[in-house]
A and B are shown apart, each in its own frame.
Chain A
């Protein structure tokens, strides 16, 4: 006689260690197999877009730090690019190099967090996470030298960066780069050949490329599905057209590929940082701009970057006043979750945790 089962609905979150913040997933199970998923957002909604309408163009920058708070540099960059498009401002070359340098260090830090927490979700409690955080900590120390803050940096400003790097920043960066290759090799050796990691991630949560594109998925998740689409290459901003780097792609689009793409990106980013150090030349780091910016009325701009989590875009509309009339944030974390339902149905509970971790979301950015 067949065993009769009936679907059970379970709430994962909002307070759950594997949801990376306050995300709630209403999951319907048939036994242990997922038959439906509904993500529920909004627990961290602070109305950043509305708040931006009441602040001037430079003040809005502090809001962008708090979107994806493990990658504030790239948030700053996307916003500054949008404001510069609105104003028609050209950033001095040294400012552009400092931006790329800071953004790539931030990408390394963000990917280390992603990899560390994915391993944590796999059950490797604390140890791999500490390996990742050990190196991230050194990057944050460098940020502290650059701008005095570690997380909410507000380092980039419309027209360039807040200030040129202090003289003792460069030797400290050299030390970091010298240590980096060893640390990445260690990480790779520890993780990428680990039997448990392989069993839990290979061929799990496979995302076909067509599905990924149709669902507007971007960033490492899209690359893992096999398309080398990176805005740094496709539509170079700042000085990304002056540095050489590869865009890693996966071949199956499973959790393992998403993990591998991130580790490859860490290596590429470190390469970009080294090239910036070689190429950067003295000069002004910030364009001369008025204290209060007033873009022309009716102007609008969409500035986007390849953030560590995907395409981060700011759509700004100006009415000629000192504050944006509308500031819409295209957050990669939220939009990458559109595909979650498709990705999870048919898999088991334990795979759900890993798949969610491999998408790498940040609730500050999902809910804004």
Chain B
């Protein structure tokens, strides 16, 4: 059975190295300050007792006043999982650090978030649209998106 890490438990691990990076927790979710995301990701992967070596999924949710990025992590060494979240509070050019340097598996997923939700990833090696064509106006998964293509 995969053990789901509680947010509070995970925050305990981060308290030493990253005292200011954790912004909250609830249930099995842990919120991280967006600029510190890459450092925290690297720690979660390298710390032997955590060893989150497998990034299951990168999702983005539009809550109107902020975007929330959700990282589902798994450790294939210890068979436990965690949910890492971060928020960006702007609708004009929001961006968070890319985690491709830590988990190369984030490559296409971050491109997809950029394409459909319009959240950019600093440091992504090849950040461009993946599903829609270049020059497509807007980001369709945003809640305020209106279809601008006429047929």
Which residues in A have some Cβ–Cβ distance to B below 8 Å? 41-42, 45, 47, 49-50, 213-217, 227, 229, 234-236, 302, 304, 311, 313, 315, 317, 325-326, 328, 330, 334-335, 337-338, 367-368
Whether the Cβ atoms of A302 and B57 lie closer than 8 Å is yes
Q: Is B16 an interface residue (CB 8 A)?
A: no
Tell me the total A-B contact number using a CB cutoff of 8 A: 81
Whether the Cβ atoms of A335 and B105 lie closer than 8 Å is yes
B140 surroundings in chain A (CB, below 8 A)? 47, 50
Whether the Cβ atoms of B57 and A313 lie closer than 8 Å is yes
Chain A proximity mask over B34-68: 1 for CB below 8 Å, otherwise 0:
00000000000000000001111101111000000
Whether the Cβ atoms of B76 and A213 lie closer than 8 Å is yes
* A337 (CB) vs chain B CBs: closest residue: B108
Chain A nearest CB: distance from B51 CB in Å?
Answer: 11
A335 surroundings in chain B (CB, below 8 A)? 105, 108-109
A317 to B30, CA, bound (A): 16
Whether the Cβ atoms of B59 and A328 lie closer than 8 Å is yes
Task: Answer whether A325 and B61 are a contact pair too, CB < 8 Å, given A45-B132, A216-B105.
Answer: yes
Q: Is B151 an interface residue (CB 8 A)?
A: no
- Pick the contact of B131 from A41, A217, A227 — CB < 8 Å? A41
Chain A nearest CB: distance from B130 CB in Å?
Answer: 6
Chain A nearest CB: distance from B151 CB in Å?
Answer: 15
Chain A proximity mask over B116-137: 1 for CB below 8 Å, otherwise 0:
1000000000000111110000
Chain B nearest CB: distance from A20 CB in Å?
Answer: 17
Which residues in B have some Cβ–Cβ distance to A below 8 Å? 1-2, 53-57, 59-62, 70, 72, 76, 79, 83, 103-109, 112, 116, 129-133, 140-141
Q: A49-B116, A313-B56, A328-B70 are in contact. List 10 more A-B contacts (CB 8 A).
A: A41-B130, A216-B56, A216-B106, A217-B105, A302-B72, A315-B59, A315-B70, A315-B72, A335-B105, A338-B107
B106 surroundings in chain A (CB, below 8 A)? 216
Listed A/B pairs (11) with beta-carbon separation below 8 Å: A42-B132, A42-B133, A45-B131, A213-B76, A229-B76, A234-B2, A235-B1, A311-B56, A315-B57, A315-B70, A328-B59
Closest 9 CB pairs of A and B: A216-B105, A235-B2, A330-B57, A328-B59, A42-B131, A45-B131, A215-B105, A326-B61, A315-B59
Task: Answer whether A214 and B53 are a contact pair too, CB < 8 Å, given A50-B141, A229-B76, A335-B109.
Answer: yes
Whether the Cβ atoms of A338 and B132 lie closer than 8 Å is no
A257 to B133, CA, bound (A): 36
Whether the Cβ atoms of A213 and B54 lie closer than 8 Å is yes
Secondary structure class of chain B's binding surface, majority of residues: mixed
Chain A nearest CB: distance from B29 CB in Å?
Answer: 8
B112 surroundings in chain A (CB, below 8 A)? 334
- Pick the contact of B54 from A216, A302, A338 — CB < 8 Å? A216
B76 surroundings in chain A (CB, below 8 A)? 213, 227, 229
B55 surroundings in chain A (CB, below 8 A)? 216
A213 to B2, CA, bound (A): 17
A236 surroundings in chain B (CB, below 8 A)? 1
A50 to B141, CA, bound (A): 6
A50 surroundings in chain B (CB, below 8 A)? 116, 140-141
A213 surroundings in chain B (CB, below 8 A)? 53-54, 76
A358 to B57, CA, bound (A): 23
A137 to B133, CA, bound (A): 37
Whether the Cβ atoms of A304 and B56 lie closer than 8 Å is yes
Chain B nearest CB: distance from A281 CB in Å?
Answer: 24
* B3 (CB) vs chain A CBs: closest residue: A235
Whether the Cβ atoms of A326 and B59 lie closer than 8 Å is yes
A362 to B14, CA, bound (A): 39
Task: Answer whether A338 and B104 are a contact pair too, CB < 8 Å, given A41-B130, A42-B132, A311-B56.
Answer: yes
Chain A nearest CB: distance from B119 CB in Å?
Answer: 13
* A367 (CB) vs chain B CBs: closest residue: B131
Task: Answer whether A328 and B108 are a contact pair too, CB < 8 Å, given A41-B131, A234-B79, A302-B72.
Answer: no
B56 surroundings in chain A (CB, below 8 A)? 216, 302, 304, 311, 313, 330
A315 surroundings in chain B (CB, below 8 A)? 57, 59, 70, 72
Whether the Cβ atoms of A328 and B57 lie closer than 8 Å is yes
Chain A nearest CB: distance from B32 CB in Å?
Answer: 17
B103 surroundings in chain A (CB, below 8 A)? 214, 216
A337 surroundings in chain B (CB, below 8 A)? 108
B61 surroundings in chain A (CB, below 8 A)? 317, 325-326, 328
